[in-house]
Amino acid sequence: LDCFDVGTGGVDDGSGVTPAIESARLIMAAGGKPKRTILVCCRAAEEFGLLGSKAWVEKNKDKLDKIANYFNRDGGPTVANSLRVPEAMYKDFEKVCEPLNRINPDFPFTLSKAEPRRKPVTAGGSDHAYFALNGVPTISFGTADPKGYDFNYGEIWHTERDLYQMSIPEYQEHTSIVQAVVVYGLANLDHLLSRKGLFLED
């Protein structure tokens, strides 16, 4: 995995890669036939300057206006339990997220409306950045530690403690299900998500 040299990348970003791949497996195992393409991307050279995602964006400019949303998971093995979306997207996400609170009562899911944000002018942070620079929605799941595993990303980030055993299996498993439901639901809408109100007006 693309990770900081001294660790194995079990958390950064194994905790992002594994739910992405498992979400795809769940969709395929269920016989899912989405109306639109779902891409599962594990980017290379993020730690060296977002090189993999930058290269993809530069080579695929013609596809950027066809992307409904770029979900990015890069921040630890806590459970996906919320989304904040622009008002113009809210009804679509409300429909797609409706099943989530029937899956496991230990992990309630909340959906709320977000105010428009400033469009970024520089890339930084994680692989979503070059997509956002080009106007692609990059709404990501909010996460939490509802069972009190007391995970602290700062303790292991870019250290020799970034190991696979630091991940939290039940959070990873539930996150995979949440991602599969939401991504598949969005791919089956009869329209792309509206980008109205995503960014503040210039």
Query: Could you tell me which of 29, 1, 26, 13 has the C-alpha nearest to residue 173?
Result: 26
- CATH class in words for 14-187: alpha beta
User: In the chain, where are the structural domains located?
Assistant: 14-187
pTM of the model: 0.94
Rounded Cα–Cα distance for residues 99 and 37 (Å): 22
Tell me the per-residue pLDDT of 51-70, one tens digit each, with 9 for 90 and over.
999 999 999 999 999 999 99
Checking if the pLDDT of 1 tops 70, the result is no
Q: Which pLDDT belongs to residue 47? A: 84
Answer for the pair 50, 127: CB distance below 8 angstroms, yes or no. Answer: yes
Instruction: Extract the runs of DSSP E, i.e. beta strands, from the chain.
Output: 79-86, 110-114, 142-144
